[in-house]
Chains A and B, each alone.
Chain A
Amino acid sequence: MTFTAPVLSYALLSPMLILLGGALIGVLVEAFVSKALRPAVQLTLTLGSILLSFMQLWRIRGEQSLTAAMGSVVFDGPAALLQGSILIIAFISVFLIADTENFTALAAALPGSDEERHALQSGNQVTEVYPLTLFAVSGMLLFPVANDLITLFVALEMLSLPLYLMAGLSRRRRLASQESALKYFLLGAFSSAFFLFGAAYLYGFSSSISFSGIREAIVGGGGNDVLLLIGIAFLSIGLLFKVGAVPFHAWSPDVYQGAPTPVTAFMAAATKVAAFGAMLRIYYTVFANAQWSWTPVLSGIAIVTMLLGSLVAIAQRDVKRMLAYSSIAHAGFLLSGVIALNKAGLDATIFYLLAYGIATVGAFAVVTLVRDSSGEVTDLNRWRGLGKRSPFAATTFALFLLAFAGIPMTSGFIGKFSIFSAAYESGAKGVVIAGVLSSAIAAFFYIRVIVLMFFTDATEDGTSVEIPSILTRATVIIAAVITVALGVYPAPLLNFITDLAIFIR
């Protein structure tokens, strides 16, 4: 028997490999570098890996291959765009993570125990969050380029497991943080089970785990449609869980609220890009010919997600929960791009993902700035009069809210317009109307927050805006500049996306 060496196409995998390498070195740094140097070394290493990965990605952006890693990874234009978006979002999120004030000194210690106190007092801050971030990012990069069900599942777990841990790392309110981590983990495990269940049925339907095999089986017809339908349904549940679509959204408000805010920012923005990236590939290539079976259901889910997210957000009194529900509503908007199933929908979804992801990181970055002596203040009532105390925080937060609301001159408007017009073009008028309606509802609570910040006076004080670290300030400024730039002159990015975003099958 002869052994053929597998062809891996290292160049195409290199963005992920660089990150994994960085993560492994990070683990070693954690063990061997002195505690005084550790934060700086870890930060440099993490940012360096992401930057290097991005540069490598830029180099190979024009390449196309179905066969990287023996056909289990596909690399094409959308892949490059999605990976690029994830890397950009991760880069500015790491700036927030660098503010170690948010993280527990010793995650392994019980909340309130002597070990924890000791670790805090001695300044023995562990920095495992950096390698965890890198592991998560590399999983996210793999998710939208996976080309068979096994790789897809591995990528899903690779991005999720570090996030489960990271959600529990908060320094303040550790119990809530750990509860959110546990909740995220348990529900995530359920959804992984659903996902695997669906994958098994798809294998049963097509006797193949590769995307191209399943696709051919669908195109060829003749298989057992019941298996296919069950497969699509359960696989979709797994994916919809990750993006937080109704009715699989229950985890997200709690997790968003409980997790350390920098992690929430990273998770909310980057996970969405990765998960929607994978959805785009699966629905646009693998399931495209079974459109009749999933578009009606997905349309329904999109409509319910948009409306419910917007409606429930109105009732929120906590800024992180409000942003969580707003992100649910945005998942609905993004789903309408998936349903569109045309080139315009693909371009629009990719644009929307980047624009929304950056604005989200920016918004959560502002949340990390608003503090009192016991940590972040997320109660909206205590954001009253913020415009007076900190025009910088209030103005930028208002900008991000306006972008979420889709007001012209912000990236959110261009995103909304392009995604709705693509959905309308595909005939999904009901989705567009629901989208417009829920935009109107959503505008209400975004504006309410702006009113709180600018038009009301502070009732009690104690909430102060910490002079932001240079890095957090940089994140806010970068996100704000990009949000405005993409709103005023989106043409270059749109052209770039249009030229590059073509799936190869």
Chain B
Amino acid sequence: MKWLTILMVLPLLGAAMISTLSKANEKAAKQLALATTLIVMAATIAMAVGFQRDNIDLQFVEKYSWIPSFGINFALGVDAIALVLILMSTILAPIVILAGWNEAHGGRWSVKTFYILILVLETMMIGVFAATDVFLFYVIFEAMLIPVYFLIGGYGTGERAAAAVKFLIYSLVGGLLMLASIIALYVMSGAQGGHTFDISELSKLTMSSTTQNLLFLGFFIAFAIKAPVWPFHTWLPDAAKAATPGTSVLLLGVLDKVGTYGMIRYCLTLFPEASKTFTPIILVLAVISIIYGAFLAIGAKDIKRLIAYTSISHFGFITMGIFAMTTQGHSGAILYMFNHGFSTAALFLVAGWMISRRGSSTIADFGGLQRVTPIMAWTFFVAGMSSLALPGLSSFVSEFLVLVGTFTRYPVHAIIATFGIVLAALYILIPVQRALHGPTTPGNETLSDLNLREKIAIAPVIAIIVVLGFYPAPLLKVINPAASHVISQMGFTDPAPTNGDK
């Protein structure tokens, strides 16, 4: 069965159906979008069940000739890493639609257009993780900017146009650097046995170390902008602040993962030597991201910017786990990508409800919500705890794995990064205390608590956060073989754990 193609076509079908509706029929557009994403989610889960977790090869492989004169194929396939991320994306999509049921109102264009953009984006989110042809990956990587651009600029708040442009320009510049590298790969493949964009063929190319370093940088900078890693992060807070909460979830939860995913899939696989060369620098950038993002978060006055800054810190952890070059670090990073998707979703969605009720996104405007809206306050609390990696919640497992995996090879980095956890406690607990506890700030007495739709939307997110916190094994069993495969391909063996008794 052509699972991946089906997954990619389904949202497009939904979008086509929505486009036939009349503009006034907003409810039908929403329902249709929700139904489509639910079907896609069900199909993804059905596909995931058939995934053979001990098989490290690509699975569900499909390949169609697309542009034969350049050797370009429409080639899809997933390994465990891609599967986990696709699963995350397709689970998040219906949640986002349900949670942000009314967020398309007040946009520049119709509600219908909003959901068409979301569904087109979902197709691309699946495709970008499933592509095994570098050209196809690049096409989707760039093309998915366009729907996001219109989602931020058309439906966001505040300085939405400026934020959308900033997002697009940063991403395009990164993408063009990657394009230069891709062209170089393509030309070299032509000189070494025939033009191809197949990722596994390209990984066999021989090239001088200078070339490899330069091409690596082309890819890495594109991904570092996307992820984002310090110092390429400045677009993210603006974009996250301007976008609707749902768009922000997709932006930070899914799109930014393309950056960290790309580091594993493209940087490490295509340029193993260069990856080793640049590891020391990248680890420093990652540690800076962790600490710097945390400090910015502590200082943030705006709740959406705060969440964006915490994400910069979290992406620092993911990047560190990837470049620590240990199986544990890698597994942790991949699991972190999955978990971060849900904890960020929880934070953003609840924050979005708070903001729409209060009409302000300044933290100081909230206060004492615990008393007025206990359910909303508690979900925000759980989301926050997950973000600071409280043991028993999902992020703890991944953050712990990343730190342990990094410590075995780079103890100094790991120790400094650990301070990130301390800072995380500050940046979460301070706003929690200000917004949820204490006396109710005047003007907040009449806020309403979560309604049924919102409860249904947030319940699965909280459930995933809690369940994976106690029992991450099902996911780790899928991730571990893939992680150790990448590490062994790079020629690394895990260092023996240093024993405290020695």
Q: A residues near B, CB below 8 A?
A: 347, 387-388, 402, 405, 407-409, 413-414, 417-418, 420-421, 424-425, 432-433, 436-437, 439-440, 443-444, 447-448, 451, 454-456, 489-491, 494-495, 498
Contact = CB atoms under 8 A, between A and B. Distances in A.
B74 to A, nearest CB: 10
Interface stretch (B139-147, B350-358, B368-376, B427-435): B139-147
A454 B154 contact: yes
Contact of A436 (B67, B145, B179): B179
B164 A455 contact: yes
23 contacts: A407-B142, A407-B143, A408-B138, A408-B140, A408-B142, A409-B139, A409-B143, A413-B139, A413-B142, A414-B67, A420-B183, A425-B190, A432-B180, A440-B173, A443-B172, A447-B168, A447-B169, A451-B161, A489-B66, A490-B67, A491-B66, A491-B67, A491-B68
Given A405-B172, A454-B154, A455-B153, 16 more contacts: A388-B108, A408-B142, A414-B67, A418-B70, A421-B186, A421-B187, A424-B183, A425-B190, A437-B176, A443-B172, A444-B169, A447-B168, A455-B161, A490-B67, A495-B68, A498-B69
Contacts of A405: 172
B99 to A, nearest CB: 25
Give chain B's interface secondary structure class.
Answer: helix
Contact of B176 (A414, A418, A439, A454): A439
Contacts of A439: 176
A189 B142 CA distance: 44
B467 interface: no
Contacts of B35: none
B165 interface: yes
A407 B143 CA distance: 7
A346 B135 CA distance: 21
B176 A436 contact: yes
Interface in B432-479: none
Contact of B161 (A417, A433, A436, A456): A456
Given A424-B183, A454-B154, A455-B154, A408 B172 contact: no
Nearest to A496: B69
Nearest to A452: B161
A454 B153 contact: yes
A402 B190 CA distance: 29
Interface in B143-197: 143, 145-146, 150, 153-154, 160-161, 164-165, 168-169, 172-173, 176-177, 179-180, 183-184, 186-187, 190
A431 to B, nearest CB: 11
A439 B168 CA distance: 13
Contacts of A420: 179-180, 183
B184 A424 contact: yes
Nearest to A441: B173
A347 B70 CA distance: 11
Interface string B95-108: 00000000000001
A387 B139 CA distance: 26
A437 B68 CA distance: 28
Contacts of A489: 66
Contacts of B108: 387-388, 454-455
A414 B173 CA distance: 18
Contacts of A388: 108
A456 B108 CA distance: 10
B69 A417 contact: no
Give chain A's interface secondary structure class.
Answer: helix
Nearest to B65: A491
A455 B160 contact: yes
Given A421-B186, A424-B183, A433-B180, A451 B165 contact: yes
Contact of A408 (B139, B173, B184): B139
B481 to A, nearest CB: 33
Considering the complex of A and B, which 4 residue pairs feature the smallest CB-CB distances, nearest first? A455-B161, A408-B139, A494-B69, A408-B142
A451 B187 contact: no
A417 B168 contact: no
Contacts of B67: 414, 490-491, 494
A232 B51 CA distance: 64
Contacts of A495: 68-69
A414 B183 CA distance: 12
A6 B20 CA distance: 64
Interface string B64-100: 0111111000000000000000000000000000000
A486 to B, nearest CB: 11
A413 B142 CA distance: 10
A332 to B, nearest CB: 15
Contacts of B186: 421
A421 B146 CA distance: 24
A451 B146 CA distance: 12
B250 to A, nearest CB: 19
Nearest to B180: A436
Contacts of B145: 407
A436 B177 contact: yes
Contacts of B184: 424
A386 to B, nearest CB: 13
A470 B183 CA distance: 42
B192 to A, nearest CB: 13
Nearest to B178: A436
A447 B154 CA distance: 14
B146 A407 contact: yes
Contacts of B135: 417
Contact of B165 (A407, A417, A448): A448
Contact of B187 (A387, A424, A491, A494): A424
Contacts of B183: 417, 420-421, 424, 432
Nearest to B184: A424
A133 B146 CA distance: 38
B469 to A, nearest CB: 39
Contacts of B161: 451, 455-456
A354 B373 CA distance: 62
Contact of B143 (A408, A421, A432, A456): A408
Nearest to A416: B179
A371 B84 CA distance: 52
Interface in B176-232: 176-177, 179-180, 183-184, 186-187, 190
Nearest to B161: A455
A425 B183 CA distance: 9
A491 B68 CA distance: 7
Contacts of B69: 347, 491, 494-495, 498
Contacts of B160: 455
Nearest to B186: A421
A410 to B, nearest CB: 9
A18 B135 CA distance: 43
B179 A402 contact: no
Contacts of A433: 180
Contacts of A407: 142-143, 145-146
